[in-house]
Amino acid sequence: MSKDDPDHHYKKALYHLQVELVRLQRDLIASNARVLIILEGRDAAGKDGTIKRLTEHMSPRETRIHAPGKPSSREDSEWYFQRFVPYLPAAQDFVVFNRSWYNRAGVERVMGFCTQEQAEEFLTSVVPFEQMLARDGIEIRKYYLDITKKEQKKRLDEREDDPLTQWKVSPVDEMAQKKWSAYSRARDEMLRRTSHEAAPWRIVLANDKKVARLEFIRDLLESFSYRGKSKKLAQPDRSIVFHWADNLADRLAP
């Protein structure tokens, strides 16, 4: 592989960032920190690939990934947040939610898997819930991966054609393009109503998967104070990853 090859530069940058992630986690473990990373985004936004690069060299003992599945009949009868509480981090844990309780504000709402009353109750109660977790000492980082409609179609088509990724195809995926505008409206309301000081939303413009992965990791590193931190590595490109704000809403895919 030529040193001038863009893939060479990506792999080199990723290596150095993953070394820095190991350094971060070592400090988090030493301080008994509890970390929760929430990763949201449209179908095919790149959540799985981002999580893989984030966690592949982290300690398997202290690192957990939770990807919520279809709720059981028992879970349907519980308080909504109850199904997520068992997966929250304890001391030294680094937990990643590949989708989260925000399913209720997005796919459940758009696809009719919950009532409008349930969606409204969620949007009203999630901020106090997260504030309670933060007061108890859990470090929360919330990321939304945003892609364009054209890019989503390209990735969904590739997913369906690739025998190694066909397992990802679902009826929800099939509706992603048809309900694009509804998802946009749900996204915008979710960001507006649930970004708060204890857990602000961080937007990652993810049309370029590799760039998005690198900038996501840089931003995550930048958000923590830890021993031996490389300030040079923890410098995210704010044209790619940034805190959500009303005056930046036009940077998201319509």
DSSP string, 28-53: HHHTT-EEEEEEEESTTSSHHHHHHH
pLDDT digits (tens, 9 = 90+) for 41-91: 999 999 999 999 999 999 999 999 999 999 999 999 999 999 999 999 999
What pLDDT is recorded for position 170?
Answer: 85
| Confidence check: pLDDT of 6 > 90 | no
β 201-205/94-98 pair status: unpaired
Grade residue 1 by pLDDT with cuts at 50, 70 and 90.
low
The pLDDT of 147-176, averaged and rounded, is 91
Domain that holds residue 163: 6-251
CA pair distance 17, 114, nearest whole angstrom: 39
Grade residue 121 by pLDDT with cuts at 50, 70 and 90.
very high
* SS3 (DSSP) at 205: strand
What pLDDT is recorded for position 173?
Answer: 85
What pLDDT is recorded for position 2?
Answer: 56
Say which amino acid occupies 217: I
What pLDDT is recorded for position 174?
Answer: 84
Residue 236 lies in a domain: yes
Grade residue 4 by pLDDT with cuts at 50, 70 and 90.
low
What pLDDT is recorded for position 100?
Answer: 98
Q: pTM score, two decimals? A: 0.96
What pLDDT is recorded for position 22?
Answer: 98
Name residues whose C-beta falls within 8 Å of residue 230's C-beta, 6 or more positions apart in sequence.
20, 23, 221
pLDDT, greater one: 110 or 3: 110
pLDDT digits (tens, 9 = 90+) for 104-114: 999 999 999 99
In the chain, how many domains are there? 1
As a whole-number percent, the residues of the chain with pLDDT over 70 amount to: 98
Residue 1 lies in a domain: no
Q: How many CB atoms lie within 10 A of CB 43?
A: 21
pLDDT digits (tens, 9 = 90+) for 196-226: 999 999 999 999 999 999 999 999 999 999 9
CATH number of domain containing 38:
3.40.50.300
| Confidence check: pLDDT of 237 > 80 | yes
